[in-house]
Amino acid sequence: MTIIVSELDLGTPGGLRVAVKDTIDVEGVATRASSPALEDSAVPQRHADVVANLLTAGAHLTAKVSLHELAFGTTGINRHVGTAANPRFPGRIPGGSSSGSAAVVAAGLADFSLGTDTGGSVRIPACCCGVFGLKPSFGRVSRAGVMPEHTTLDCVGPFANSLPMLEIAMGMIDPSYRPSPIPDRPTIGVLQVSARAEVAATVAQALLRSGLPVQDLAFEHFTAAYEAGMVIINRETYQACGHLLQSQKVGADVAARLSAAAMTDEAAVARAEHTRRLFSAEVDQALTRFDVIALPTMPDFPLRLEEAGDTSAVLGMTALVRPFNLSGHPALSLPLASECGLPVGLQLVGAKGKDAQLLAAAQRVLMNIYGARS
């Protein structure tokens, strides 16, 4: 099980055990993003803001953990540092790019962990590993000291084995965060999307068991937002990491994606930004009618490792998550179990800046489904 890339012992002994993705700076520890191309990178001289906040809040930082190389992939497969085993669903991919961050929580090696989410990289591994994962509102949590330096999509977000622990994590990394009261009957807009029948049924049955008011919802620009999100990811990742191709040390799968990303032109970026405005407004409008939007996190079950070798062929895994990176809305993956025992994620999306209200609504959903705090 390859999860931990650097063992740490920082902060308060006996405090909550926290692991962080190796794109997040820890003073005196190289940030290598699980890539041989960064083996000689300079050692950070200060903590990322989120790390400093964790230590101030009394956390015990225990490890930096592995990821899909350069955070540019969805499976979590990494042939350089090794692929984090999926603790709860052996033989299945851990998901990417924050594979180690999800796996370390699923394995019980941390009370919570931090990953980053540019196009689903918290929510996808959370779903694959059967844990909770939150992508906060864009810009809510400081990214100072987090790779890449410049982004219009990426968010630092926590993984945990329960919603209450996820909320504790948010309070530690964002000192402005305050919990919101759990609502009695939040309204849910159920986004109509294409997904495997068993996945769709698992989500539909969970929402039915919640007994909460639901109404079907459709977005005109959802598919275009997925495609536009890929354009922006390609442009911004190439700007951040394209120079590493010269080292000839980038893994073949990521190198191929970076080389293709170099071809992203200004016209495509302009069209993507236009779609961003349209889709963001569409989601904002829907969230004046509903407290949250619900849909599956992934359209299918996590692939087996032997099925997931071609990174470009599995990008469809992010079809239901990436649009909300483009729009900047907070989004959360809750673990559900299908009848066959494989993991399904229930994704809930909230209004921008209303992260606490999103978590509170999610708590009500789970309390209604299971009859207790989850």
**DSSP H or E run through 216:** strand 214-217
The verdict on whether omega for the bond into residue 13 sits within 30 degrees of 0, i.e. cis, is no
Go through 272-293 and write b for each residue having 16 or more CB atoms within 10 A of its CB, e for each that does not: beebbebbbebbeebbeebbbb
| Tokens found for residue 287 | 């969230």
Among 99, 121, 210, 327, the active-site one is 121
Cα dist from 94 to 36, 103, 124, 302, whole Å: 21, 7, 9, 8
Residue with tokens 């940030």: 31
> Could you give the CA distance from residue 343 to residue 273 in angstroms, rounded to a whole number?
34
Annotated active-site residue 97? The verdict is yes
Report how far residue 242's alpha carbon sits from residue 175's, in angstroms, rounded to the nearest whole number.
34
Which of these is catalytic: 21, 64, 135, 354?
Answer: 21
Catalytic residue, from 34, 66, 97, 101: name it: 97
Whole-angstrom Cα distance, residue 82 to residue 250? 14
Compute φ and ψ for 227, nearest 5 degrees. Answer: -65, -40
Is 327 designated active site? no
**312 is an active site residue:** no
Q: Which of 365, 2, 5 is nearest to 185 (CA)?
A: 365
H or E stretch covering 166:
helix 163-173
Sequence-distant (6+) residues with CB within 8 A of 287 are 189, 293, 329, 349, 350, 351
Tell me the C-alpha distance between 132 and 334, whole Å: 5
Which residue shows structure tokens 């087996």?
A: 304
The catalytic residue positions are 21, 97, 121
